[in-house]
A and B are shown apart, each in its own frame.
Chain A
Amino acid sequence: MATKYYLPEDNSPLPPKSAEVLTTCCDYCIVACGYKVYRWPVGTPDGGMKAAENAFDIDFPSGPLQAWVAPTQHNVVMHKGRPHNVVVIPDKDSKVVNINGDSSIRGGTIAQKCYNPDKPTNDRLMSPMIRINGTLQPVSWDMALDVATDLMKYTVKQYGANAYGMKIYSYQYVENTYAGSKFARRSMKTANWTMHDTPANVTSTPGFRDAGFDNFGPACKDWGDAEVLMICGTDPYETKTMIFNQFIKPAIDGGQKTIWLNVRETAGIAYAKNRGNALFIQLDPGTDTPVLGAIARVIMENGWEDSEWIKQTVGQQ
């Protein structure tokens, strides 16, 4: 792809019956949609267009909502020393979140993230880099870890445990989050640790936790069950696509009211407006907090708040 022009490909291989099938999930957001990976050696026959000849068990051309392989869903990777085709498509057997194999544009193209030196992944670092004599140079993992360990020990000894800090994702895979958190808090004994979506790991920031709202608490189903949603500064159609497509969109079709505070009228907002049960408040950037404050003031002035709920939840540890 050494051209500045966009050159869409007009073919893609179908996985043969003999392809290995693995499951994986999209790592772009907390929803973690299910995907299937089909892998078979380059140079062995691809699948054919008849159901009896391909791994999907369907005839091609396929129809709406059936399996299909877009060119961006195919890649070639090295596996056991040999180039292999990989096709990564949404899992039609998914029973939760991306039910029946729905997908976002991000998850839909995760095959492009597989390392391939002939694709834009060719700039991926293949080893740790350390600046030696003014030049970044590739080094072994052993050396990189030795240097990092020595520097961490030196820093803690010189300035105390809290001089070591860790900023880590709060979701992705539980195992990773657990290992990273345990290392920072138990081994390094630092209080200087937080997740990527909070400035510090205390309940008063960023504020909504103090209001009794657990940002990763609601089940996906709650987004569809709510009678009214107020969506501020985001469009889940673009950022949490499955929550929108599988839960919010059907709810809007069924009469759910939505209130959107956003700078732009994005696709999810346009859809909700067209269905006739949405209020879109188009803001100047950075003015959402005054607007929310004004809404809260009107609620308080009219006594519409749930005093008992606030008493029980807000400010409680």
Chain B
Amino acid sequence: MTDLKKKDETAAEHGKCMLNRRQFLMYSGSAAAAASTISISLFPGQAQAKARVVGYPRKLVAKLSQLKENKPLDFNYPDDGPNTSCFVVKMDGAKAGSGIGSQRDVVGFSYLCTHQGGYLTGKYQAVGEHRVLGQCPLHLSTYDLTRHGIIISGQAYQSIPQVLLELDGDDIYAVGMMGLIFGRNENLMEG
């Protein structure tokens, strides 16, 4: 990650709703443990919340040089079980929250709509400055991929989960996930 500029690592650079990976891990590891589940703040048990966040596998998912502009590349994460369809895409220069690469335009997301589990395969769109996933074939939810997958329009109960990426030379690794994958009660399943 030598090509990352220091000033770009602040959330302020991305706008107030943005969060980079470093801050995510920092908040998740300490202060944000209380935000993980509400029962935790009533009954302290922060070690458990920490474990959930840091337990993600580090998985090679693509090579940066192999990505074509605006062409999603599919992979499975965090395991190869049900509901793990994800994609990584280079968004042709559109800078994104948690984006990697010199243009910060490489992002990863789940394909499963967080409304009722519709598959968003083939629903990536680049229109002008916008980079969106949608409309979902079931009930039309649409997500903004430059802003951590927040809902632009639709009925989903949360943002589309974002895969946290890391760049090591030309290798793109998936290292974590923000938001619960549809159909799971925990992203990391035992066994």
A60-B183, A64-B138, A68-B182 known; A118+B157 contact, CB < 8 A: no
Tell yes or no: A102 within 8 A of B by CB: yes
Tell yes or no: B119 within 8 A of A by CB: yes
Tell yes or no: A241 within 8 A of B by CB: yes
How many angstroms from the CA of A108 to the CA of B153 in the assembled complex?
14
How many angstroms from the CA of A7 to the CA of B150 in the assembled complex?
12
Q: Could you tell me if B114 and A245 are in contact, using CB atoms closer than 8 angstroms?
A: no
Contact partners of B140 in chain A: CB under 8 A: 237, 249, 267-268, 271
Contact partners of B184 in chain A: CB under 8 A: 60-61
Mark each residue of chain B from 35 to 56: 1 if its CB lies under 8 Å from any CB of chain A, else 0. Answer: 1111101110000000011000
Question: Chain B: which residue is nearest A241 at the CB level?
Answer: B155
Q: Could you tell me if A10 and B186 are in contact, using CB atoms closer than 8 angstroms?
A: yes
How many angstroms from the CA of A305 to the CA of B67 in the assembled complex?
60
Q: Could you tell me if A9 and B27 are in contact, using CB atoms closer than 8 angstroms?
A: no
Tell yes or no: A152 within 8 A of B by CB: no
Q: Could you tell me if B19 and A12 are in contact, using CB atoms closer than 8 angstroms?
A: no
Q: Could you tell me if B183 and A267 are in contact, using CB atoms closer than 8 angstroms?
A: no
Q: Which of B38, B150, B151 contacts A118 (CB 8 A)?
A: B38
Question: Chain A: which residue is nearest B176 at the CB level?
Answer: A10
SS class, residues of chain A in contact with chain B: loop
Contact partners of B185 in chain A: CB under 8 A: 11-14, 49, 60, 69
Mark each residue of chain B from 150 to 190: 1 if its CB lies under 8 Å from any CB of chain A, else 0. Answer: 11011111110100000000000000011111111111010
Q: Could you tell me if B158 and A267 are in contact, using CB atoms closer than 8 angstroms?
A: no
Q: Could you tell me if B16 and A4 are in contact, using CB atoms closer than 8 angstroms?
A: yes
By CB atoms of chain A within 10 A, which of B24, B116, B118, B185 has the most? B185
Tell yes or no: A25 within 8 A of B by CB: no
A76-B38, A103-B155, A116-B38 known; A5+B19 contact, CB < 8 A: yes
How many angstroms from the CA of A103 to the CA of B116 in the assembled complex?
9
Q: Tell me the smallest distance from the CB of A83 to a CB of chain B, in Å.
A: 5
Q: Could you tell me if B157 and A108 are in contact, using CB atoms closer than 8 angstroms?
A: yes
Q: Could you tell me if B41 and A65 are in contact, using CB atoms closer than 8 angstroms?
A: no
Among residues 60 to 112 in chain A, which have CB atoms less than 8 Å away from a CB atom of chain B?
60-66, 68-76, 83, 85, 102-105, 108-109
Tell yes or no: A22 within 8 A of B by CB: no
Mark each residue of chain B from 92 to 112: 1 if its CB lies under 8 Å from any CB of chain A, else 0. Answer: 000000000000000000000
Q: Tell me the smallest distance from the CB of B128 to a CB of chain A, in Å.
A: 14
Q: Could you tell me if B52 and A10 are in contact, using CB atoms closer than 8 angstroms?
A: yes
Tell yes or no: B146 within 8 A of A by CB: no
Question: Chain B: which residue is nearest A73 at the CB level?
Answer: B157
Q: Could you tell me if B154 and A105 are in contact, using CB atoms closer than 8 angstroms?
A: yes
Tell yes or no: A238 within 8 A of B by CB: yes
A11-B37, A105-B157 known; A5+B180 contact, CB < 8 A: no
Q: Could you tell me if B82 and A61 are in contact, using CB atoms closer than 8 angstroms?
A: yes
Q: Tell me the smallest distance from the CB of A79 to a CB of chain B, in Å.
A: 13
Q: Could you tell me if A61 and B81 are in contact, using CB atoms closer than 8 angstroms?
A: yes
Q: Could you tell me if B36 and A11 are in contact, using CB atoms closer than 8 angstroms?
A: yes
- A7-B32, A68-B117, A116-B38 provided; 17 other pairs, C-beta below 8 A? A6-B17, A8-B158, A9-B179, A10-B186, A49-B185, A60-B184, A63-B183, A68-B182, A71-B158, A74-B37, A76-B38, A103-B116, A105-B154, A105-B155, A238-B153, A245-B139, A245-B155
Interface residues of B, Cβ cutoff 8 Å to A: 11, 16-17, 19, 23-24, 27-28, 31-32, 34-39, 41-43, 52-53, 81-83, 114-119, 135, 138-140, 142, 148, 150-151, 153-159, 161, 177-187, 189
